[in-house]
Structure 1
Amino acid sequence: MAFKGASAAMTAPSLWHSIMVKSKLWNDSWHAPYPFSNPKKQVTERFMADIGWAPPTEGWVMVNTDGASNGNPGPAGAGGVVRGPLGNWLGGFVAGIGTATAVLAELWAIYYGLELTWNLGHRMVKLASDSQLAIQLIQERHDPIHPYATLLNLIRRKIGQDWLVSLTHTYCEGNRVADWLSKHSLVYPYGMHELADPPIGVIPLLQDDVMGVTFERRVVATSSSTI
């Protein structure tokens, strides 16, 4: 109606019918022998693994970020930390972002993490987030009307600056410092607040990471096999 005029509007019954027909077609496609004509099937394996913080290699820095939303959507914040190969604190941040969903909080955390790391002068960066969805949204291309399009473009432009940036997924057991900071951010006002030194409450987690403490977790590995 906004772009084509009132004559383009669908009546309630026709809109309902269109939704039902298209939903059925979509559902049927997933039950076809080879969805999307893919002759391979996904093989999923689950196994136990020891998960902990992974330090960067020499010359690189590791940025861990996390977002928190108390309600999804609800009051939200973000946090992150920049560390060297020995686990040394190079900088950190907390950010109040108002009311947001969990994935939006994760995206803001990644953006602020990149912004802080660039401002600190580091140019070989590995950024880890425990949100696989946030990473996928950044790496894939979306319609300009996607609700997060503006922020996604900001992140992509930031990554495209003159530096090396690698995005990677980590489990929450390897992201405990950023998780603590993201929850701590909920008491801060709107905007990003840099932390030159770690808050007292997060120091035990930093020490665990330096010592290589790990936690057992059941993880999923997916591979393709030809039918």
Structure 2
Amino acid sequence: MGFAKAIGHTNSLQAELWALFEGLSLSWKQGFEKVFVRSDSKQVVDLVNSPSAASSVLSLVHSIHRLRQRSWATFVSWIPRNNNRPADAMAKLASFSDVSLHVFLELPLGVDLLLHND
């Protein structure tokens, strides 16, 4: 399962935080009890894993913290960008003119090969 969503013009930190928030929200709605997230943004991983995430001035960090405090297990870890090509390919599937969330129940063509090589 995967997703894509256009969020408009923003900086890379906000885009990565939105991706994490949307991914965790979707996982919760699907009833997952344990979620492992791999992000190529060291800054995001450090922010959401920080003991001060609950009191972060960044609203998305605070929202992500609240999601992670629910009755489930979430693990957020850093991986190098070149090991995260499937996620980058999924992010590029979002249409900039459509801000709705697109959920993929099957891997889109081309992403399956990237995932296999990952």
TM-score w.r.t. length of structure 2: 0.87
Higher-RCO chain (CA-CA 8 Å, sequence separation at least 6): 2
Question: 1:139 & 1:172 partners in 2: Cα distance?
Answer: 19
SS of the residue corresponding to residue 92 of structure 2 reads: helix
| Corresponding residue number in structure 2 for 1:165 | 74
Q: Which of these residues, 98, 118, 124, is aligned with residue 28 of structure 2?
A: 118
Give how far 1:102 is off. 0.5
SS of the residue corresponding to residue 46 of structure 2 reads: helix
Q: Which of these residues, 132, 135, 138, is aligned with residue 45 of structure 2?
A: 135
Give how far 1:192 is off. 1.7
Q: Which of these residues, 64, 73, 83, is aligned with residue 155 of structure 1?
A: 64
Structure 2 letter corresponding to 1:103 = L
Kindly indicate whether the alpha-carbon contact (under 8 Å) linking 2:49 and 2:76 is maintained by their aligned counterparts in 1. no
Question: 1:145 & 1:178 partners in 2: Cα distance?
Answer: 26
SS of the residue corresponding to residue 31 of structure 2 reads: coil
Name the CA shift for 1:178/1:135 in 2 (closer, same or farther; >3 Å).
same
1:163-199 superposed Cα distances (whole Å, 9 cap, x missing partner)? 0111100111221100111122244611321111111
| Corresponding residue number in structure 1 for 2:9 | 99
Unaligned runs of 5+ in 1: 1-90, 210-227
Give how far 1:205 is off. 0.8
Unaligned runs of 5+ in 2: none
User: After superposition, where does 1:4-23 map in structure 2 within 5 Å?
Assistant: none
SS of the residue corresponding to residue 7 of structure 2 reads: strand
TM-score w.r.t. length of structure 1: 0.48
Kindly indicate whether the alpha-carbon contact (under 8 Å) linking 1:95 and 1:188 is maintained by their aligned counterparts in 2. no
| Runs of 4+, deviation exceeding 6 Å | none
- Does 1:184 find its partner at 2:90? no
SS of the residue corresponding to residue 161 of structure 1 reads: coil
Q: Could you say what the CA RMSD is over the residues aligned between the two structures, in angstroms?
A: 2.0
Question: 1:186 & 1:106 partners in 2: Cα distance?
Answer: 17
| Corresponding residue number in structure 2 for 1:196 | 105
SS of the residue corresponding to residue 105 of structure 1 reads: helix
